[in-house]
Amino acid sequence: MNNKFLYAKIKSRKKGKILINTVIMTLQFFFTAVVGIYFFSLLYSQRSGQSAISHESKKELEKLNALEKIKLTEPLSEKTRPKRLGDIVGQEESVKALCAALCGPNPQHVLIYGPPGVGKTAAARLILERAKHTACSPFLPDAKFIETDATTLQFDERSIADPLIGSVHDPIYQGSGAYGNAGIPQPKPGAVSNAHGGVLFIDEIGELHPVQINRLLKVLEDRRVKFESAYYASGDKNIPLHIHKIFRDGMPADFRLVGATTRNPEDIPPAIRSRCVEIFFNALDKKSVEKIAENAAKNAGVSLEDGVESLISQYADNGRDAVSIVQTSISVAATEGRKNVLVKDTEWVLKVGKYQPKVISKCSDSPKIGVVNGLSVSNLMSGYFMKIEASAQKSTEGGKLCANGIIESEQIDARGQRLIKKSSAKESVENALSALKNVFKIDTGLYDIDINFPGGVPVDGPSAGIAIACAVYSAINKVKMPCDIALTGEVSILGAVYPVGGVAAKIEAAHNAGIKRVIIPEDNYRRTFEDSGVEIICVKTLKEVIGICFKDAEKEGGKEGIYTPNENIMIAAGSEVKN
């Protein structure tokens, strides 16, 4: 009886286990089916998505390939772009200085100043190739040239993004990348590191933000970039070794900086200027513009009628303007089925383009009373030839002084600040009158004196002192001033002649104006002036200046000159003028 009960109980338990196992297997099958369906649908959706992306990508690729087949003619500005340093027109001395700064055994950082369109960027692009082929240069054959524009170098003050210096992409900003998921900060190199071992060219460097300038100065000093991040831990073994090395030692950034700007030197921070060699590119003269126009026409495969180059040089301020005028003139000729550009084609282009002719001053053919050839220089070290006029009449009511044509103040916008720059030309006039009174005992108070600076040229600084003194002396004594002499130099109230700035550019401007002799302060003399094409006369005193200018001059009416000093005058060529 007991055995039957026990047997029935065991049998019942077996049936229960079988039922439970059946239920479990059913559930397992069910969940397996659900999971299988889920992954199948996920895989299907992924494949569908990839198929859609691939199909869309194929369509976009076809569009890009179609766009690649559409090509316009190469712009003339690209055809005429210099291929070697010798192709840069009108900047021979500046290019030589650039080679000296970067192609030697110890290359230096360089700042290039100059007007737009005179070859600054072209020279910077080509200088590294010249350096690579110089035996003593440390630049390797694979040295990189990294070109940037300061106007487009936008950065974040939190260092999230800085295309110039570099930045660290913290995990919070990385998204779902490998480093972001692992919580690893990722340093990103900037232009300074990309230029390691080569040249970093920054166009319009004067537009850099002060914060970027300070960071750039630190990189120039350390020759590497240091990074920081709140997500970096030196003991974290999950961080790759190369990232540890970057945070520990910094990223290499040993390069040479070449910065170009159209700003004036005083607009560039002194800390940058003190680390760089400063090179000035000159404004293009008439012959240089003619050469650029001729090369542009040659590259375009057309001929220019006689007089076209000369006409363009009267209106174009730089190479870009010259090429643009030539290109438009070629188009005008092409519409009429011609391959030669006529003068009338260019005249039409200048008319519709509203081009204004350049005012090019030349020295007079004959001496005149009260008219003196002066010289000035812009902040970009471009020289200018200018005339200074003076008249003097006996006064019955006490002498008066009137100075016209002086731009007394200029408004300058620089780095968000508005500055007013005042001229000191009036002070130079007063100094010149005092010198005449003290040295030659000429009582200028007995005359009504008018001094004019024709053309409204910004006259700043005291460098017109001796020119003003000669103009007033000529006007009072009615003696003619030689027309082949130009002058520059500061004069003191006691008659001493002091050195001034920009003498090399002034001498070049005098040569271009047809001047034969230039009087400069003795302290400004350099041996390089001997190759300037004009006679350089050095002086120490106003007496020497008057002696040179009016030794052979005659009064109106045929009488002798007023004053001849008994002193020797030093001339750059090594001779002396003895009286």
- Residues known to be catalytic: 463, 506
- 460: tokens are 């700043």
Is the separation of the CB atoms in 529 and 504 below 8 Å? yes
Backbone conformation region of residue 456, classed left if phi is above 0, alpha if psi is from -120 to 50, else beta: left
C-alpha–C-alpha distance, residues 265 and 278, integer Å: 9
Long-range contacts: 41-47, Cβ < 8 Å, 24+?
A: none
C-alpha–C-alpha distance, residues 95 and 120, integer Å: 9
Distances (CA, A) of 382 to 27, 160, 282, 509, 537: 92, 42, 6, 8, 21
Distances (CA, A) of 298 to 277, 294, 326: 36, 6, 11
- 446: tokens are 């007995």
Is the separation of the CB atoms in 194 and 144 below 8 Å? yes
- 197: tokens are 């071992």
Q: How many CB atoms lie within 10 A of CB 562?
A: 17
C-alpha–C-alpha distance, residues 386 and 395, integer Å: 28
One-letter-per-residue 3-state SS of 143-188: CCEEEEEHHHCCCCCCCCCCCCCEEEECHHHHCCCHHHHHCCCEEE
C-alpha–C-alpha distance, residues 568 and 544, integer Å: 8
Output phi, psi for 547, to 5 deg.
-65, -40
DSSP bridge pairs for 555: 479
C-alpha–C-alpha distance, residues 339 and 337, integer Å: 7
Q: How many CB atoms lie within 10 A of CB 183?
A: 15
Helix (H), strand (E) counts: the chain: 18, 26
Closest CA to 122 of 95, 153, 152, 150: 95
β-bridge pairing 371-377 and 485-487: parallel
Burial of 151: CB neighbours in 10 Å, binned 0-12, 13-18, 19+: exposed
Output Rg (C-alpha) for the chain, integer angstroms. Answer: 38
β-bridge pairing 340-341 and 576-577: unpaired
Output phi, psi for 417, to 5 deg.
-115, 145
Is the separation of the CB atoms in 518 and 507 below 8 Å? yes
End-to-end CA distance of the chain: 162
Is the separation of the CB atoms in 530 and 536 below 8 Å? yes
